[in-house]
Amino acid sequence: MVHRHARTAARTALAALGALALAAAPSAVAAEPAPTAGPVPGAAQTLGADRAPAHLLQALGRDLELTPAQASERLVNEAEAGARAGVLRNSLGDRFAGAWVRGATSAELTVATTDAADVPAIEAQGATAAVVTRTLAELAAAKEKLDAAAAGRDTADTPLWYVDVPTNRVVVQARSEAAGAGFVRAAGLSGDGVAVEVTEQRPRLLADITGGDAFYINDEARCSVGFSVTGGERPGFVTAGHCGDPGDPTTGFDRTPQGTFEASVFPGRDMAWVATDAPWTPTAGVKAQDGEVVQVTGSVQALVGASVCRSGSTTGWHCGTIEQHDTSVSYAEGRVDGLTRTTVCAEPGDSGGPYLAGSQAQGVTSGGSGDCTGGGTTFYQPVNPMLADFGLTLTTAAEGAAAPLPQDGDTRAWTAGRVYEAGATVTRDGVSYRCLQTHQAQSGWAPAGTSALWQRL
């Protein structure tokens, strides 16, 4: 059941964010103390979305059929919606059942809850309230059962499963109803919380050539630079794990010696990083349309429904929207968990290339189906788990540069370079904050001055 509320302008709604307005809700909701927070400015808290370069707006216009002004409005509204969704997620706690945006430009925010008593509080923040049956945690637990069942069976006929937040269910895509039903039974799941969708498509790795700047592995296979990073004092870049194994040498787009795969995970995840040698130097740039370059400013995770663009050396710069996070894909070469599914097209050779939401790094191309002539589906490995697991620091523009992560110290203290998940709590200058949106902390984004990412407790 969805409760609609007259939506105010995005900046007005975001500026009004402070303590969640639980006073208007029945006692069942008001029993939980509302967190306190200062107001969240509008454009100042879009994390660069209000200053999108022309080539990004042009690509969004081409692929999502928007004018440059509409594309700009969409990016700003999506960035602001992410902050509002974070505030509501933290306040709803265990009742939170997900958030998403819709609309060509307005990025109308919907927040789901399992308790109808939360509706007034959600609507007070300019969002649409959806009252559903299952919490996000329950959906995630159901998907984990599918993950566990997949470990002991052939998933060739059930190549894709994911949490679908807008429909409040887990979806299994299968080659037949029987295959899907058998997978669901093997996971010990039943009822209307799991749906089987029959499809003939099977995702495949896009490993021949990849987006951004091309690079070569063992002077044979060709893949693509994702995002520049540093690992301690070592420069390099992240890419797809299926592109190479630890120790594999690489050459650059000009076929000169470049570096070595330092770490690689595939299957399970699809992530790797390459340490580069001189003269290869990390930059914050990502190749976009017509030779233009987008400057990466951070890694704030975008919501389901948000726009996203991908760079690939086979098909260039293309855009679409995010369909689901936390998707499991069973490729012929092995299963990968934790991918994000998108409507961006791609073709073989685009693997490893970067995905951006505005100027925020999202992930690197893993695989997909279809093509850029008839359209298709792609999956990307999110960048924040790569940064956290490999101990890397994303290279960003000076505006919000990250600092190298220290090797010790208080893990509760806010630290630039650390990846924070939504809901995490930190302290800074004696004040406690809760994270609103998953991201790697940047030195210019301290909690007190970045209320799009942090809520004061």
Active site residues: 242, 270, 351
First to last CA, the chain: 31
Q: How many CB atoms are closer than 10 A to CB 295?
A: 16
Q: How far apart are CA 113 and CA 122, in angstroms?
A: 9
DSSP 184-248: HHHTT--STTEEEEE-S---EE--SS-SSSEEEETTTEEEE--EEEEETTEEEEEE-GGG--TT-
What is the three-class DSSP state of 404?
Answer: coil
**CB-based burial, 433-443: b 16+ in 10 Å, e otherwise:** bbbbbbbbbbe
Contact 318, 418 (CB under 8 A): no
The two beta strands, 234-239 and 227-231, are antiparallel
DSSP per-residue string spanning 433-446: EEESS-EE--TT--
The amino acid at 151:
A
Extract the tokens encoding 419.
């990846």
Q: How far apart are CA 383 and CA 226, in angstroms?
A: 9
Tell me the residue type at 451. Answer: S
Q: Decide: residue 193, CB within 10 A, 0-12 exposed, 13-18 middle, 19+ buried.
A: middle
Helices marked H in 153-224: 177-186
- Please tell me whether the peptide bond between 267 and the residue prior to it is cis, using omega within 30 degrees of 0: yes
Q: 171: which DSSP letter?
A: E
* Distance separating alpha carbons of residues 300 and 420, to the nearest angstrom: 10
Q: How far apart are CA 340 and CA 379, in angstroms?
A: 5
What DSSP state is assigned to residue 413?
B
Instruction: Quickly count: other Cβ atoms within 10 Å of residue 446's Cβ.
Output: 16
How far, in Å, CA of 457 to CA of 451, rounded?
12
C-alpha 398: how far from chain center: 22
d(CA 233, CA 229): 10
